[in-house]
Structure 1
């Protein structure tokens, strides 16, 4: 082979007769293959050993001449099937391309290319083919690879080998350090331990120091570090003990990282390491300022550790009373009850040992008067009662600070505070409660469609990438597409191309992918109209979908989704066959209602233009037309009949017909769930297209399925309330089972529709209230917030029936569908907005059912969270000054013990008897 290479080198340098220049620049000699051809054959065959041997004998100019052919092969393999031939070639290509780049930047880019990430050459092969470069070049390459993001998956063995060959400083980037950690921790490959490897590694000190500087490193280390005697944590602590790592630097680095880090994984890793280092008393005293700062850390584990350290120092008289008061002011403000109680215990010990400390510590204790947990408030008040005498009259400022904090106590504790502090109880009481509710939302008019195709293209592009599509925005864009198609179709198509260029159906035909099958199943919002406009779906497919559609689906949502889909398929079909001048059913208001006069004017314009209305579009317009003002309806009906068209006559009949009552609902129980059945809906327009005929069908309680096609498209629910505006009970009845999964099955996101239900028009009956009840017991906080928003909106609009909602909650808690602790969190959130009276009216209706089982048998263990729920009820009762009785409350309050349930039941009973007003 060396003889062949000699001849090939001559061929490269001298053009000989009979030779020809290849496309890559390599010269082929009569009867002899060029350098690039020989290398290329070996690469294609995946013969990595032969490739390495060929590269060893090449000069830099020869390698550069081979590079174009290797790049062409790379392009070929990108589109080739992922079979054994391509998999075999990739590692050899990876090594050859890296060696044939003579610049470090090009080599780094080739080595980390995404298309070769899954079939790389081994680090040993790469070091072999690159090892003959200059030391500076190798160091440059090592730094470039280490600077790549960790997603590039650069092998640590390659980077470490380049560092070793070049003698350059060890990189301390995220990619290098994480690779080092993973390499050290791969114990299954060798028989030694992490501690042994760290002792032998020459870069341990530098790379351990770098661990503390990489943002988000904890997410990589959390599962790698582990626990136990063979873990990283144990090894680092042992190396620090042995002096391999500087102890002061390690402790400082841990503390500094905790001070600037809020990521949970970072906190876990570096707190465990700090604990393993076990700082001495002297080391803890040197860092008092750090512990004081960490006491306010967002992570409760970090704050608890700092509080524990400062507590030990305080009991050893190693910190001043002022520093203890400073820490207490921070800790007593935290929501973690266990942490707050531990701090109050500490303050009690210090106050008993040194009564003179009351001057500085009792004002700090008063910070707990504003805590949301009244047990904490009472503990703090007991400390004040016990030690206020130590302040005396010589320190009026300290006494005034304690008195100022007493105004934050719950109403039941303020009387005790007044007596202890010698205050006027009437002056201490805040103003009478004033209920605060959000402003009732008002419907807004829809803006007209965009005037130009470019504005429309921008709006459509935003909708295509949005995960949160509002009905008014969607309807405005849909109407704009129809209008501009009628007036300037070619111009609109050209403007929309950049918007949809990356949609898969815009490309060439793909195997196993058919746009016609795709759009026959579902219109996918505006996509079907865009595909029709740009000629990416057959007209016959659109006709079939618009005439039939998947209305055979028995899903409880299909009656609403079929109407929504029918308009889209129809609009897409008319774009291709007979463009509409505009849509008739575009709402006037954000509530989904369409003004009668506006619909009459649209029909008149259709008549003038000789346009044929779309059947689905016109039927949807009839469902949306507003009929609550009889005088307006009668006048508009006369103008509609005067048009002399079939559509005008149908509109006139619709406007003059009576609005039907909401169908009767019936409750059904299924395991934990309470569900609803709804009777047939009458009063629908006559001559309904097929897609609309299921709207009047009764809704069965057990029709809903957890995973129906609409489960995967939650945005579509935003449009269902506009299918039949003013009929939210009908929509809510079809959503009850789905919303129930937020509480029963812990499904995330299904309660997002609740604020829309609350803002919609129409009666808010059993179905709406049952949906809100399930939402208040949802597993995920964002779903509970949606339910709270819905509750407050209903209350602000005067549509909340507290008896219905409270009764639902009582029943759902007893059946186990709603957990008391989740419900307590929801109602507390609602109350703290200022709606204490609203929340009390709900809890007052729910508590008799919740307390019945506990009162019947004192031995029955209360469900988790009942004490929290009673605490919210007591807070609401105190703030609003209500009086009265709650069934079964007295029996629960008389149970033995001092549990939170019993304490809060007693608090609520006393409040209701005295009518304490906050």
Structure 2
């Protein structure tokens, strides 16, 4: 090394720089700080140049095999670079790089490698790293060490606070907070964060010493934290709203601080806003606070009116009823406030619950004499929001002030029939392709995924080296060696193909997986995902070769379907290029061709004329008669008692039917579709993911797709799982007949625990209705026995039905419920929650003007009592008797 400015090569590994590089290549991060210590500035500059070259080698995957361990090398690189970079900006760039990782056991070494830098230098670096959230979260010990050394306080950031909370949360939490001089500033930032760190949101559990709200209360009591500031921060954060998880810290902190009456009164406007807009549990607390203040006359009438308007706009019955009760108490004490409060009460006239409407109308009627003529006219105008049930009472109350409007003829409103959208061509340049590949959640967007996959194959075929170089630059990932050998699951499958471009696949592993099929006990969702896995494995093996110029199976429509003539054109290009179709790619392409398409006949002739084996296969596939559809049945509850099949999803039997062509001509990953799986209950015992990719596997056979989805949907409805309805929108837009499997899939979706799941099911029902493909009577029949079995809970079904009806589809919803109710009304034991369903049914009948009879309704309505079931049964009966028989909208089929 000599002068320290010459070539490292000349000095060999006996020099200081050489020994440092040798330690880094060996992954000995623990030796790096001592090896850095004797190096001067010039030697560190030279070492940095060599470290950058080594980093490039690691990024390119040249150190992916034993005896070298990439994670250890990257950790050593991280530490060595920390001691060689000359400026804070360069240090922040090196220490914040995505391709460098510091192992947990090596984290103290980076601070040692930096050494005794100038305090200003250390503070500058700490501030830069703190501004990068992921870096700050993972490098808190380094940042904290820099803060201690520099004597400067790091400006609080989300990442730094997250790392701070992670390292402080233990059984000495209070002591650690008390000892840290930055605690007031960092706590203030934590309380204001949109998404507080996970450790701050944990319940008290079995380790109360680690409970942050309790610790904050202790510090407030000790004077370490300012009480007024903490209360202000907590209330302000509650006012901003968000998911309950993100509000747990400020809510529990306020509750533990137990503000006195004066502290609560000072923040009345905030409590009003929280009661109106916050999640239910938080709004309930704010409402309790205001009720307490109102009981002693501390809430101004104007603030109470504003609160009432906001709360009565909400859907939670408990909050709405409590608010009406509060207004009633205030008016009983202050009758003169009626002119200001009653207009706010009319917000409840539009509530979907007729009981709430009745309570609000009675409250208005009780205090109506205390308002002037102008307010009275406003109240009468708002009464137009009341449903037909309370229309007569409103007329008697307001008399001439209630304007009579001639009722308009009922018109069913259904969504427009969805139009198939063409899939855009793949990216035209490598740069555009790479930008698509780096998009997160690509695997959850089937169209984007298919476009990106086809673009990758096309560009790799034209210039594999250019794509490989762009991939290395865009994905400086430290785990290429893992992704190259792992299963190409939907979440990581695109990376498996990228590994194929880079030449990192193990040929023996590829050959072993190419012929892999499915066992007899595989669940249906694994089988669906397995088709995509097989496609990705094949693409990863062939990408960049002449055997795969482009993908045959890329959809032409957003549903996943392929235009038959387009597929013929693709096969013609393959023939002209002398290329045989890849087996898995071609098999998926066949499944995506709708055989009922008007152009299928012409496409079959043109395919046969190609004179190739693939062309003849396509022609035969298009000309083949539709196979017998799948059958769905449920084992009797008392059959094979040893299996303890108390849940329907344990007794669901799906028989996909025999398809000899599929079993004989399709690759192993597809043969289960030809009847290779024995009809039997198939329950998943593992994590379910990749649902978005299921529907595009079978876009031309809706009933078969629904049969494959049923086990997951049944389990979701009965076991309160979430996310299973993701494919339902695509199912509704797919091709093929609508049979029992589709209707059961919709029925289960309507009974899911998650609101978003039910909403997707509602959308699917309305899409089928708009296309004239909904058998409403049969759907109602399926729902009836699912409710009777306990698989679909009435309250969830009522919510879904109410949502569908509110779009204007009252006739469609009534057609479903009319078919469902007779079996349920005749049950030996009243079904809990059925009153909510009857309320929706009554609303549908009142608004659509439907009439007729429902078996069992007369007997129930004639019963005594004021239960929801009896009250709503009487309401429905009256509505049916008052309604005129009229045909349902043409888009609804009430029977076959």
TM-score of the superposition, structure 2-length normalised?
Answer: 0.76
Q: 1:828 to 1:406 in 2, by over 3 A?
A: same
After TM superposition, give the deviation of residue 383 of structure 1 in Å: 0.5
Distance 1:540 1:810 in 2: 54
Aligned equivalent of 1:550 = 517
Stretch of structure 1 that moved more, 109-118 or 760-769: 109-118
Stretch of structure 1 that moved more, 552-561 or 767-776: 552-561
Check conservation: 2:450, 2:555, Cα contact below 8 A.
no
Q: 1:143 to 1:905 in 2, by over 3 A?
A: same
SS at match of 2:826: helix
Q: 1:154 to 1:24 in 2, by over 3 A?
A: farther
Aligned equivalent of 2:201 = 222
Distance 1:26 1:570 in 2: 49
Aligned equivalent of 1:876 = 844
Structure 1 segment 603-642 matched on structure 2, within 5 A: 617=586, 624=593, 626=595
Aligned equivalent of 1:840 = 814
Q: 1:239 to 1:107 in 2, by over 3 A?
A: same
Distance 2:603 2:93 in 1: 71
**Which of the residues 899, 905, 917 maps onto 2:873?**
905
Check conservation: 1:584, 1:603, Cα contact below 8 A.
no
Aligned equivalent of 1:253 = 233
Q: CA RMSD in A?
A: 5.9
Distance 2:616 2:160 in 1: 77
Distance 2:528 2:333 in 1: 72
Distance 2:29 2:583 in 1: 68
Aligned equivalent of 2:382 = 405
SS at match of 2:410: coil
Distance 1:553 1:714 in 2: 22
SS at match of 1:905: helix
- The reply on whether 1:669 has 2:643 as its aligned counterpart is no
- The reply on whether 1:467 has 2:446 as its aligned counterpart is no
SS at match of 2:635: strand
> Number of aligned pairs?
861
Distance 2:507 2:179 in 1: 72
After TM superposition, give the deviation of residue 352 of structure 1 in Å: 1.2
TM-score of the superposition, structure 1-length normalised?
Answer: 0.75
Unmatched segments (≥5 aa) in structure 1: 1-10
Distance 2:570 2:29 in 1: 74
Distance 1:619 1:258 in 2: 51
SS at match of 1:787: helix
Q: Deviations over 1:804-837 (max 9, x none)?
A: 1111111112222222232222222211111111
Check conservation: 2:729, 2:763, Cα contact below 8 A.
yes
- The reply on whether 1:806 has 2:783 as its aligned counterpart is no
Structure 1 segment 1-40 matched on structure 2, within 5 A: 23=8
Aligned equivalent of 2:298 = 318
Check conservation: 1:728, 1:764, Cα contact below 8 A.
yes
Distance 1:281 1:750 in 2: 48
After TM superposition, give the deviation of residue 782 of structure 1 in Å: 3.0
Q: Deviations over 1:678-723 (max 9, x none)?
A: 57457969984566776554875416452699x654354233324x
**Which of the residues 387, 399, 414 maps onto 1:422?**
399
Q: 1:509 to 1:282 in 2, by over 3 A?
A: closer
Q: 1:820 to 1:643 in 2, by over 3 A?
A: closer
Aligned equivalent of 2:640 = none
- The reply on whether 1:272 has 2:272 as its aligned counterpart is no
Distance 2:102 2:600 in 1: 69
Distance 1:734 1:127 in 2: 58
Aligned equivalent of 1:7 = none
- The reply on whether 1:820 has 2:787 as its aligned counterpart is no
Which structure: larger Rg? 1
- The reply on whether 1:777 has 2:751 as its aligned counterpart is yes
Distance 1:731 1:40 in 2: 57
Q: Deviations over 1:131-151 (max 9, x none)?
A: x76665665566566656474
SS at match of 2:743: helix
Structure 1 segment 557-596 matched on structure 2, within 5 A: 592=561, 594=563
Stretch of structure 1 that moved more, 141-150 or 321-330: 141-150
After TM superposition, give the deviation of residue 252 of structure 1 in Å: 3.0
Unmatched segments (≥5 aa) in structure 2: 637-644, 887-896
**Which of the residues 361, 365, 372 maps onto 1:385?**
365
Q: Deviations over 1:502-528 (max 9, x none)?
A: 89999999599659xx68x99998899
Check conservation: 1:529, 1:575, Cα contact below 8 A.
no
- The reply on whether 1:434 has 2:407 as its aligned counterpart is no
Check conservation: 1:668, 1:676, Cα contact below 8 A.
yes
Aligned equivalent of 2:712 = 738
Q: 1:499 to 1:767 in 2, by over 3 A?
A: farther
Aligned equivalent of 1:119 = 105
Check conservation: 2:484, 2:499, Cα contact below 8 A.
no
Q: 1:320 to 1:901 in 2, by over 3 A?
A: same
Q: 1:891 to 1:244 in 2, by over 3 A?
A: same
- The reply on whether 1:328 has 2:308 as its aligned counterpart is yes
SS at match of 1:434: coil
Structure 1 segment 720-735 matched on structure 2, within 5 A: 720-722=697-699, 725=700, 727-735=701-709
